[in-house]
Structure 1
Amino acid sequence: MAQVYDQWTKKVPDGKDDEGNTKYKTVRTERWGSGKRWLARWDEDGRRVSKAFDVKKAAEFFLSRTVTEQADGTYIAKANREITLAEVWPIWWATKAAKSKSLRDGYQAAWRHIEPRWGKKACAEISRAAVAAWLPTITGRYKDEKGDPLPLGESSLRKVMIVLHGVLETAVEERIILSNPVKMKDAPRQRETARRYLSVVEVDRLRGVMPHPEAQFVIDTLVQTGVRPGEAFGFQVGDLDSMRGRCRVSRDVDAQGGADDTKTGRHRDVPVGGDLLLDLENEAEGRDRGEWLLRMPDGRGWTLPRWRTIWEKAVEDAGLADLDTYELRHTAASLAIHSGANVKTVQRMLGHRSAAMTLDIYGHLWDEELDALPQRMSEHMKAERQRFEQRRQRAARHQSDTKTA
C-alpha cells in the first residue's frame, strides 16, 4: 500500500475511553527536528521502498504520481532513478567500439568536459535548462591575451552535446529515465566557414616552396584526388591499381602513425591519372604491398604532426597564411567541378554519404558553371550548324558523282 508517514511523531496508547476503547495521543519521536519529516512508502517489485520529503504535500504528490506511473506502465524503479551519468557512460561507450579511433578520441575529449559537471549527477536529476545554462561556461585549452581560458569552440560544443545526448539516450533505453532532457536543437549551430579554393597558380606556388620532392608528392596527391590528409598518409602500395587508374581509400593514419579506419567507416576508390599515376607507379615499384605509398625522405610514413611542421613553414613562404591542409580537398573538388565532373562523380571521389551532401557543400561551384553555359551552348549550336552544312555538301557531292557515273 502506498502511504505517507510522519517520521517526527507517532501515536501511543493513552488509556481507555468511556466505552473501553484504547485512546491514542501524538508524541514526538527520537527523529523530531532531524532530517526530512515526511516519508513516502510504496511497493516496487514485491518490496517496500521509500523516499523522504520536507513537505507533506510534496510527498503526497510524488506518491500519487508514482501510483499513476505504475498503473500506466511509465514507472521508473527507484533504484534506477539514482543511477548517475558516469554509471551509464560505459554502456554508451561500448556501443562505439567499432568507430574510428579519431572519432572515439573526440568523444573522449567531450566526456572530459561533461564528467566533472554531470558525472556524479543522477540522470533523473539532469534538466534541459541546467544543461543550456552550463554550455556557455565551458572553456577550452586556448587562452586570451590576459591568460584567461577562451570559451569552447562551436564545433567542440556540438560534440559535447552529441555525447551528453547519446549517454542520456542510453539511459532512456535502459529504463533509467523516461525521456531525454537534452535536445540537440539547443546546441550552438556550427557556423559555416568560408571555404578556400586555391587557383592553379597558388597550388604551383605552394608546391614550389616545399622542402623536398616527397612533400611535393603529398601536395600533388591531395589536390588531384581530394582525399583527406590522413587518408593520403594511409595509402599502401597494394591500394594502387595502375591498370584501372584507381587508388583505394581503406584507412586513415592517426597522430602516432597507426592505421585507423576512415572517418566515415567506408572505403572507396579515387581516380588517379596523368603524371600523378606515373609518379605513384614509380613510387610503388619493387615494394611490398603493405608499405606506406607516400613516404618521408627518411622512409618513414607521414603523420599529421610530421606534416604540420613542414606545412606551416610552406604556407608562410608561399604567402598563403592561415591555409589549412584540408582546404586542398576543397581545391580538388573545385578543380573536378570546373573540369566538367557531375555531382555524383564528385560525391564518389570525396566519399560523401550522398549527392545531396556534396551539393550542400559545393553546389555554388556548379552555379558558377552557369556563367559559362551560354557560351558553350552557342558554340555547340554553331558546331551543329557546321556539321549539318557539311553533311548537306557531302550529300550533294555524292549525288553529283552518281549522276556523272
Structure 2
Amino acid sequence: MAQIVDQWTKRVEDGTNADGSKRYRKVHSDRWGKGKRWLARWDENGRRVSQSFETKDGAEAFLSRTVTEQADGVYVQKSKKDVTVAQVWPLWWSGKAGKSKSLRDGYQAAWKHVEPKWGSVPCQQVTRAAVAAWLPTLTSRLLGEDGEPRPLGESSMRKVMIVLHGVMETAVEERIVLSNPVRMKDAPKQKPSERRYLSVAELDRLLAALPGSSARLVVDVLVRTGLRPGEAFGLQVGDLDPVRGRLRISRDVDAQGQADDTKTRRHRDVPVGGDLLLDLEDVAEGRDRGEWLLADSKGGWTRDRWRHVWSTATAEAGLDELDTYELRHTAASLAIHSGANVKTVQRMLGHRSAAMTLDIYGHLWDSELDALPAQMDAHMRAERERFKERRARADRQQSDSRTG
C-alpha cells in the first residue's frame, strides 16, 4: 500500500470524543526541522521501500508515478536506480566468452575509454546528449608529431560505442533502465578504407627484397590464398593436404604468438597448387603434424617478429606504408582478374556472405562490365547467324521436297 508520511509531526492522544472514541492531535516530532519532511512509502516485490522529499507535492507526484509504472509493468526498482555502468560491464562482458580473442581484446581496449567517463555513473543518469558530446573528445594513446594525443580514429570510436551501447542494452534487459539512451547512429560513419592492390611487378620487387625463403613463402601463401596474416602464422603441418591441394584454416595467432580461433570462428579450406604446393610440401616433409608450417629460425612466426622483416623489405622495395593485410586485397584482385566468381572469392577469403565480398571488392568485377557490351553484340550476331542458317536449311528442305 502506498502512503505519504509527515516525518516532522506525530499524533498523540488528546482525550476522547463525545462518542467515546479517542481524539488525536499533531505535535512536533523529534525530527522537526531536520532533513526532508515528506516520506513516500510503497511496496516493491513484497518489501517496503521509501524515499524522502522536501515537499508534499513532490512526494505525491513521485508516488503517483510509481504506482502507475508498477501497474503498466515499466517500473524500475529503487534498488537498481544506483547501479553504475561499471557494475553492468561484467554482465555484458561475460556474454563475449565465445568470441575470438582478437575481438575480445578490441572490446577490452574500448572499455578503457568508456570506464573513466561512465564507469561510476548510474545507468539511470546516462543520456544520449551527454554521450554524443563526449564521443568527439576521445583521443588515442598514441601521440602526434606535436607531442599531443591524436583524436581517436573512426573505427576505434565505433568500437567504443558498440561497447557502451551493449552495456546499456544489458542494463535494459536487467530492468535497470527502461530504454537504451545510446544510439549507434550517433557514432561516426566509418569511411571506406583505401585498399591497395599490388601489381605483379611490385610483388616481384617485394619478394626479391625479403631476406630468406621462409619470409618469401609467407608472402607467397598470403598472395595466393588471401589468408589473414594471423591465419597464415597459425597454419600447422597437419593443415596441409597435398593430395587434395588444400590448406585447412582453423586458427589464428596473435601478436604474442598465442593460438586462438579464427576471426569469424569458422573454419575453411583454401586451394593451393603449382610451385606453392611443392614448396609447402618441402617445408612440411618429415615434421610433426602439430608444428608450425610457416616458421622462421626461431620457430613459428609472430606478428611482432614479422613486423621488423616486413618494414625492412617494403622500404627496400619502394613500397612504403604497405600493410601486410593488403596482400589479402592483392590476393582477391588476382583471383577476380583470373576469372573467379564472387562465391569462389568469398569462400577463399572466409567472408560470411557473398554480399560482404561484393561490398568490399565488387568494383574489381568492373572489367566484366566493360566486356559485357561486346559480349552481348557477339551473342546477338551469333543468334542472327543461327536464325539465318536455320531459315536457309528450311528453304533447302522445301526445295528438295518439290524437286523430289
TM-score bucket (shorter structure):
0.7 to 0.9
- Label 1:265 to 1:243 Cα distance change in 2 as closer, same or farther (>3 A): same
Q: CA deviation at 1:54?
A: 4.1
Q: CA contact under 8 A between 2:80 and 2:176: conserved in structure 1?
A: yes
The letter for the 1-side match of 2:203 is V
Q: CA contact under 8 A between 1:15 and 1:24: conserved in structure 2?
A: yes
Q: CA deviation at 1:187?
A: 1.5
The letter for the 2-side match of 1:186 is D
Q: CA deviation at 1:370?
A: 1.9
What are the superposed Cα offsets for residues 345-383 of structure 1, whole Å, 9 maximum, x if unpaired? 000000111011111111111123322345566788999
Q: CA deviation at 1:198?
A: 0.9
The letter for the 1-side match of 2:25 is Y
Q: CA deviation at 1:97?
A: 1.2
The letter for the 1-side match of 2:146 is K
The letter for the 2-side match of 1:314 is A
- Label 1:97 to 1:59 Cα distance change in 2 as closer, same or farther (>3 A): same
User: What corresponds to 1:309 in structure 2?
Assistant: 308
User: What corresponds to 1:99 in structure 2?
Assistant: 99
What are the superposed Cα offsets for residues 3-56 of structure 1, whole Å, 9 maximum, x if unpaired? 33344x31455967997974635647536254x444322111222111233454
User: What corresponds to 2:187 in structure 1?
Assistant: 187
- Is the partner of 2:230 in helix, strand or coil? helix
- State the alpha-carbon separation in 2 of the partners of residues 300 and 379 from structure 1: 56
- State the alpha-carbon separation in 2 of the partners of residues 25 and 64 from structure 1: 25
User: What corresponds to 2:253 in structure 1?
Assistant: 253
Q: CA contact under 8 A between 1:107 and 1:163: conserved in structure 2?
A: yes
Q: CA deviation at 1:73?
A: 1.8
User: What corresponds to 1:343 in structure 2?
Assistant: 342
The letter for the 2-side match of 1:217 is L
- State the alpha-carbon separation in 2 of the partners of residues 212 and 139 from structure 1: 40
- Is the partner of 1:97 in helix, strand or coil? coil
- Label 1:384 to 1:287 Cα distance change in 2 as closer, same or farther (>3 A): farther
TM-score by length of 1: 0.87
- Is the partner of 2:201 in helix, strand or coil? helix
User: What corresponds to 1:123 in structure 2?
Assistant: 123
Q: CA deviation at 1:60?
A: 2.8
Q: CA contact under 8 A between 1:110 and 1:163: conserved in structure 2?
A: yes
Q: CA contact under 8 A between 1:338 and 1:369: conserved in structure 2?
A: no
User: What corresponds to 1:320 in structure 2?
Assistant: 319
Q: CA deviation at 1:311?
A: 1.1
User: What corresponds to 1:32 in structure 2?
Assistant: 33
- State the alpha-carbon separation in 2 of the partners of residues 299 and 144 from structure 1: 34
Q: Report matched runs for 1:76-225 at 5 Å.
A: 76-225=76-225
What are the superposed Cα offsets for residues 220-266 of structure 1, whole Å, 9 maximum, x if unpaired? 11111001000000011111111111101100001111110000010
- Is the partner of 1:269 in helix, strand or coil? strand
Q: CA contact under 8 A between 1:14 and 1:23: conserved in structure 2?
A: yes
Q: CA deviation at 1:326?
A: 0.8
Q: CA deviation at 1:153?
A: 1.2
- Label 1:129 to 1:38 Cα distance change in 2 as closer, same or farther (>3 A): farther
TM-score by length of 2: 0.88
Q: CA deviation at 1:333?
A: 0.4
- Is the partner of 1:179 in helix, strand or coil? coil
- State the alpha-carbon separation in 2 of the partners of residues 377 and 208 from structure 1: 43
Q: CA deviation at 1:289?
A: 0.6
- State the alpha-carbon separation in 1 of the partners of residues 334 and 384 from structure 2: 31
- Is the partner of 1:286 in helix, strand or coil? coil
- Is the partner of 1:193 in helix, strand or coil? coil
User: What corresponds to 1:395 in structure 2?
Assistant: none
- Label 1:369 to 1:167 Cα distance change in 2 as closer, same or farther (>3 A): same
Q: Report matched runs for 1:367-378 at 5 Å.
A: 367-374=366-373
- State the alpha-carbon separation in 2 of the partners of residues 17 and 91 from structure 1: 60
User: What corresponds to 1:289 in structure 2?
Assistant: 289
- State the alpha-carbon separation in 1 of the partners of residues 213 and 198 from structure 2: 20
The sequence identity of aligned pairs, in percent, is: 68
Q: CA deviation at 1:292?
A: 0.5
Q: CA contact under 8 A between 1:240 and 1:246: conserved in structure 2?
A: yes
Q: CA contact under 8 A between 1:246 and 1:269: conserved in structure 2?
A: yes
Structure 2: stretches of 5+ with no match in the other structure? 387-404
For the aligned residue pairs, the C-alpha RMSD in angstroms reads 2.7
Judge which range, 101-110 or 313-322, deviates more.
Answer: 313-322
